[in-house]
Amino acid sequence: MRRPAVMYQRILKPIFRRNGQLFEELKQSSAANFAPCGTLPPFRSTIIPVVPLQLFDTQDLSLPMSQEKLDRSNQFFNDAKAFFRHIKAIRSDLNFSDLDLSDPDLRDPDLLMSKKRKKIRIVLLDTGIDAEETRMEMAIDDGRINRAESKSFVDSPWDQDDDMHGTNVAELATRAAPTAEIIIGKICERRDKLEDVLPRLAKAIRWAVKEKEADVICLALGYRTPDEAVERAVDYAIAKRVLVVAPASNDDGLGERGSMNPPRLDDEKNFLTLGVGIDVLWKGETKLKSGTSFAAPIAAGFIACMLEFITDKVTDLSAVQVKKLKRKKGMEAILRKMSKKVYVGGKHYFIHPQNMCDWERADAVQRAVSRVKEALRDV
């Protein structure tokens, strides 16, 4: 049985259920969902209105955004600081250049190679980044964004972003995954310049899997028209145990659902995370933005952090459990352990590391390890 593309099942299917309402209705919504198992439901072209191709769902909320919304957004990241400290400590311990090679314990080749473990890789497929923006420049300089591995699939370079959508997505990914290695794949130049973008997207997904060996692919985008090449590319990624994150639902930072979301799916896990009132760079200025595009990189970042944590701390997983970790059901089980249930228009799971355990506690690592084992045991 083929695994359908995540964007079809999680973005298009809900839209079709609403009898083909325009994609613009999805503004202020965001979150992460994974490609589910099963067959692709049939689509009826008679209910598809003719609309221009639209990939990105963002909204400039600089004027109407309340201070309360901004405070919630800031609190979301502040509450994750203890979690990030644990993740950074893991990577600090794995810094090969800082190892004392005279230590007899490090003469074991297997132990030495474990200390040199590669970073978790997130590939962002978007409009590229503006490398002249201060935060992007810093991320490139310190290696969080891999300059050598990034690539453009259009005429302009990957480190030039005339739209700023990709820059915002990359900024949020660096905030949510402080130790991950981020690779940029530029698939379009602007949201109003989308000729042949879907074939490029399909090509870029395969590139991310085959050539870049991505652990996570973040697609902070969506579209209405089914595309077989993209579907096959996503199927290929899933078959290679790459986690694909795409937007479908959001919240305001404290678990309150965003004002406009696609309907929840009764037969699937419905996750949401921060997507409202986020301060991001915008052509040299800091502005507030909301949209599905902004929760996807946050969720992708949290997933990368958990992969780092589990690889280092949960060392007694079976081979089967390790494989499950890179599958939809396995990662969903992990995300449920770091989520709390919220009931707004149905049950959703609000993702935040603090929901897994209090990371300020002395026994936080042990508690988190136990929860991970519980999650994978039941999958």
Sign, CA dihedral 286-287-293-299, equals positive
φ, ψ of residue 103 in degrees (nearest 5): -65, 120
CA angle 176, 181, 187 (to 5 degrees): 90
Instruction: Give the span between the Cα atoms of 258 and 21, in whole angstroms.
Output: 18
Q: Are 26 and 262 within 8 A, CB to CB?
A: yes
Partnered with residue 151 across adjacent β-strands are 185
Token pair 């400590």 is at which residue? 89
Q: What per-residue string of b and e applies to 5-33 under the rule 16 or more CB within 10 Å gives b?
A: bbbbbbbbbbbbeeebeebeebbbbbbbb
Instruction: Give the span between the Cα atoms of 344 and 258, in whole angstroms.
Output: 9
Q: Residues with catalytic annotation?
A: 126, 165, 293
Q: Are 324 and 58 within 8 A, CB to CB?
A: no
